[in-house]
Structure 1
């Protein structure tokens, strides 16, 4: 199963990840899982103290008694399943545009929701869920871990109220106890929407503004007069 969150919002920050995680953990089968491993790249938004708290703290609304472990790919890890999936979507849209005009966000949602299909290796259909993500301006109450430097660790897990990190995701490797003071407060929710696409083909009257159009007409008249004079000679 793949869950994708298309959005007109360009600002992909920890609030975006926070909202999408809260939503996807309500989807089955994640909702019923007792042990969950998350994997992501080392982007700063994924390593923020907000996301670490959301996934690992016992007071987080995601936990519900589930054991969640947070993993990161090492540098130059190559492509993962998500990269491959997004590549499929990109290629699908390139081919779809040859026969269908996709010039609005709503049209994109309609096409991707109704026409994009993926099969499992055994030929059975794979469930694809597309959820339009949006939010409003304002402030949100969030809690985060005040971690000084977590970039050296690729694996995180919690036991009770204690946070641990490991340099790898090997089951029997050493766990390091990490200080995990928390901070709660309000974070401003910012929104920056994608700009509306400009038409690629303009009408002749739209190419020039009034002043430029007047100059263009005078220039065309002068060129025409010159041609007529040459013909008379």
Structure 2
């Protein structure tokens, strides 16, 4: 699609009316996306629409001009959010699953986040989120997309083996901590002696692929050796004597015991 066609589509998606003026029309060559931003006549409200070169909606943001007194139930807000997504990505629910629902009390809105999963784990920067005002109007939508090439390890360590190794290497230290009554059972918000774990380095915890453990250990060892071989910083040269720097011979003068005025009179 050419720029004019993309602009026309962005206006339709944003429902931009005559009360708004186009402020930004920016083409990102690296990502191949085109972003439009309109501001209202008062200058405080904004509509943003971002499309790819094929006209697919990537981001939509709307500043509501007023907060509606209508408040819909969570189920209704969820349905309206998905209806909005289905208009632009009919296959979204086949590729993504609901990860979380969060409430923004300041904006009086609710956000629904969907992600792609692999091995029952969410893949970062996949899926989409939709934020709706409590009256059901969509005020923010962002589409991340689908991860198509996913590389999985040939073997995975059993969770029990990883836990056994962590517990074996785990050290505990005695310290003083505030026991928060809202977090800890029998907490009284007073300082108490507690044992805290000294967690091992991350590369002992995270590798799920046993073939990667040795590689990461070797890499850490190499980095440690390199850090030991760093040259010591050179000491800065001391500053020259200030009297010599300005050509002042202190030995050629004597201190007058009288006041300065009497000495020069």
TM-score, normalized by the shorter chain, greater than 0.5 = no
User: The TM-score by the shorter chain falls in which range?
Assistant: under 0.3
Select the structure that is richer in strand. 2
Higher RCO structure, 1 or 2 (CA under 8 Å, sep 6+): 1
TM-score normalised over the length of structure 1: 0.20
TM-score, normalization by structure 2: 0.18
